[in-house]
Structure formats: structure tokens, C-alpha cells
Amino acid sequence: MVGMTVIEHLLIKQKESPEATGAFTRLLTELIVAAKVISREVNRAGLVDILGYTGRINIQEERVRKLDDFANHTIMERMEKSGQLCAMASEEDPDLIEISKEYPKGNYILIFDPLDGSSNIDVNASIGTIFSIHRKVTPGEEATLADALQKGSKQVAAGYFIYGSSTMMVYTTGSGVYGFTLFPGLGEFLLSHEDIKIPERGKIYSVNEGNYNYWDENVRRFVDYLKESDKATKRPYTSRYIGALVADFHRNLLKGGIFMYPADTKDPKKPHGKLRLLCEAAPLAFIVEQAGGYASTGYERILDVEPQELHQRVPLFIGSREDVLLAEEFIQGKR
Ligand code: AHG
Ligand code: MN
Ligand code: MN
């Protein structure tokens, strides 16, 4: 018997919210098609000329890989036609992306990281797509930046696709976190993880230790603490780092633990670290809190951060609640 498809799941959730018009279900259905197209290309990468660089530099001042571009255009072109969006924002594009006049507009904003973990593309390690959905808050049909610069706590939905040993979709609309696995033979995402809950405390820490000398002293103290041996507090923790946020986060979501990308002083242009608030930290923070975890900048709950600009970066400590709260204590000098 084939399990529940993600569309069935979306329709059940839609029925649970009386005011639902089906617009959101339509939006997510289109996004799922885009993810299947990207997943197929990711699985072919290496066989066709989709690896390597485009020669362009993006807003993040990073060289753009062909698969980044492919994923970005696949989502933009498909979602623009969905009729459910008034604007989009992509990690790969400097400004808000308007919906062209020829397509009907809707009341949602889609913010996304089309391909997360780009440095893993050529080495066949897991990569993913992250998305965040807000409702339009400004009057009139045209979207403005204010519609995108909303706090994470205002998200209508958030999720990610992970193109790994299998392709998975994990999402929340605010009533729990659900995971679906793509069955290649069927081309359907089937429910595989019902109501995911992250362990209160983990045994895994994920951080790029190569940046150790560029962290704040209190962050160094916290990571050193995790590595000390102490049976009573079940230390040392195990270190796991894949280098793709989605994959590191997904492992910690299922097994427990903390992922960190602290502010590092190596690059003065990025005093708040590398990860983006709107298309990486906020969507994953929504998911982790729905699963019983927590996400912080070290000083502030990620979902409470008031965005000031589209590509704003934040330090990120995310995962098991107890581990992230402990990180905050160290970072704030309370420990
Ligand atoms: P993206 O590929 O979307 O730019 O994201 C890469 C991010 C994130 O996926 C990962 O956690 C982090 O970069 C890894 O950075 P380092 O290589 O500096 O550890
Ligand atoms: Mn990313
Ligand atoms: Mn990316």
C-alpha cells in the first residue's frame, strides 16, 4: 500500500484551517514540481555539463555554479506562473523579484535559497533547497520590500528539500514538522517522518572548526566545553560537519544536537557570519521550534530578529533546545 503523498497531506492540513482557499496548497504543489526538476538534475550532475561555474559572481560575492543557476531559474520560472505570489526573493538575486504583468498575482511571498551547500555539488555530497513563505502585509497589489522583511515568527510556512542519498522534503505550516521521501519509481513524495520532534538535548555539534581562531572568545569556550570529557554531562560531544546547512541541520533535527555558524572576524565584510537570515536561518528556525528545538543568534531568538535588509546575515546556533540555551549562556558570559 503506497503511503500518504505530500499533496494528500497538504489537503488534510488545508481542511484543518477553515479560512484556507487552496492558494497555499497550489503554491506548495508548484514548488514541489520545481524541486523534482532540480532533484533530477542534481542526480544527473556529473553526467551532463551542469557542474562547474557560470563565470558570474552573485550578490553574496560568490562564484555562481551552474547548478545554483539552474535551481534558481527553475524555481523562479515555475513559481512566477503559480498565480499565488506577489513577489519572490532569492539568495542568488540582489533585489526583490517582481511577478511579471502577464501572470496573475497572489498574496504570498516566497523567499528561497535555491541551492544550499553549493561547495558540495562537485563532490557528490548532500545539497538542498530552503524556502520560507510569508503572507503579503502591505496594501495594494504590488509587493514592496516590507512584505519580504518580516520577522521569522510571521512565516506561514517553511521547509527544505534535501538532495542526498534520497530526496526528501521537510516542511511545517505551524502545526508540526513532516518529512516526505521521494519514491523515484513513483515520482511522488510519500510521508516518511510523521510529526518530527528533535531530542531536548543532543550529543552532536556541527561547526566549521577551521574558523576557530576567528570566533568570539565565548564561542571558543563553548565549543571547548563540548569537547571536554565529563561522564556526568555526557561529554565529549561527537563532531559532524557536512558543509551544507540543510544536511547538517537535517541530521541534528532527527538525531539531536547543535549546528553553529558563529560570527567570524575573518571577513570584515561579514561581521555577522555567513548565513542569511531570510532564506536560511529563519525558515530552519521555524522548523526547529515546531519540532521542539530552538534557534538563536547567541543573543536573540532568530524568529524575533527584525530584518533590516534582504541579504542580512546572522550568527546561527540551532538545534536541541538545551544545547542552544547552553550556547547562549556561554556566549552571554553567564557561564
Ligand atoms: P550556499 O551554498 O547556499 O551559499 O550555502 C552554503 C552555506 C551553508 O550551506 C553551509 O552551512 C555553509 O555555507 C558552509 O560554510 P563553510 O564552508 O564556511 O563552513
Ligand atoms: Mn545556503
Ligand atoms: Mn545557496
Note the pLDDT tens digit of each residue in 269-305.
888 999 999 999 999 999 999 999 999 999 999 999 9
What SS3 state is found at 57? strand
**Cα 41 vs. chain centroid, distance in angstroms?**
20
Instruction: Tell which atom from ligand 1 comes closest to the C-alpha of 115.
Output: 3
**How far is ligand 2, taken at its centre, from the CA of residue 208, in Å?**
15
The interaxial angle of helices 23-44 and 66-80, nearest 10 deg, is: 160
Residues 293 and 170: their CA atoms lie apart, in Å, by 15
**How far is ligand 3, taken at its centre, from the CA of residue 113, in Å?**
5
Q: Which CATH architecture has domain 6-193?
A: 2-Layer Sandwich (3.30)
Neighbours of ion ligand 2 (CB under 5 A): 113, 116
Least confident span in 15-19, 191-195, 222-226:
15-19
Ligand that lies nearest to the alpha carbon of residue 75, given by its number in the listed order: 3
| pLDDT value of position 33 | 97
Pocket test for ligand 1, best of 53, 64, 119, 280 (most atoms within 8 A of CB): 119
What DSSP letter does each residue of 18-46 carry, written as one string?
TT--SHHHHHHHHHHHHHHHHHHHHHHBT
The protein residue whose alpha carbon is closest to atom 15 in ligand 1 is 243
In degrees, rounded to 5, the angle at the alpha carbon of residue 238 between the alpha carbons of residues 234 and 241 is 150
What SS3 state is found at 139? coil
CATH (one of 3.40.50.1370, 3.30.470.30, 3.40.190.80, 2.30.29.30) for 204-331: 3.40.190.80
Note the pLDDT tens digit of each residue in 134-185.
999 999 889 999 999 999 999 999 999 999 889 999 999 999 999 999 998 8
162 lines ligand 1 (CB under 6 A): no
* Residue 244, all three cell numbers: 551544507
Residues 292 and 178: their CA atoms lie apart, in Å, by 13
Note the pLDDT tens digit of each residue in 51-109.
667 777 777 777 767 889 999 999 999 999 999 999 999 999 999 999 999 999 999 99
Task: List residues bridging with 235 in a β-sheet.
Answer: 230
Mean pLDDT (the chain) is: 94
In the block, cell 567570524 appears at 264
C-alpha torsion angle, residues 75, 309, 134, 58 (rounded to 10): 10
Where are the chain's structural domains? 6-193, 204-331
118 lines ligand 1 (CB under 6 A): yes
- Give the mean pLDDT of 245-249: 98
Instruction: Tell which atom from ligand 1 comes closest to the C-alpha of 259.
Output: 11
